[in-house]
Amino acid sequence: MTKTLAEIGLLMMINPEIKNDDLHLPPDGLPCYRILTGKDDAKFCHRVSEALSLGYQLYGSPAATFNGQDVIVAQAIIWPEAQ
């Protein structure tokens, strides 16, 4: 059974010995929901790929805009246990 983020926070306050791995949380204190933004280049693609390799999943479609000089992209990602 998947726990809500509030339930997870309560469990961690009650028992500080519980680790992120025990609750299936993202590593290194990263948030469950993130939105990655940046120039549409290889560096941005590597950031998204790195997040996917950590276990994040794409959330929704990417967005793109033009700032007059560069294409700026955004991609939301979510930790699977947060759904």
62-78 residue pLDDT tens: 999 999 999 999 999 99
Short-list 49, 6, 25, CA closest to 75: 49
pLDDT(82) > 80: no
Q: Judge contact between 39 and 46, C-beta under 8 A.
A: no
Q: pTM of the prediction?
A: 0.69
pLDDT of residue 1: 44
Residue 48's domain comprises 5-82
Residue 71 in tokens:
């294409």
SS3 73: strand
Q: What are the tens digits of pLDDT across the range 11-56?
A: 555 656 555 555 588 998 899 999 999 999 999 999 999 999 999 9
> In total, how many domains does the chain have?
1
Task: Give the burial string for 5-33 (b: 16+ CB within 10 Å, else e).
Answer: eeebeeebeeeeeeeeeeeebbeeeeebe
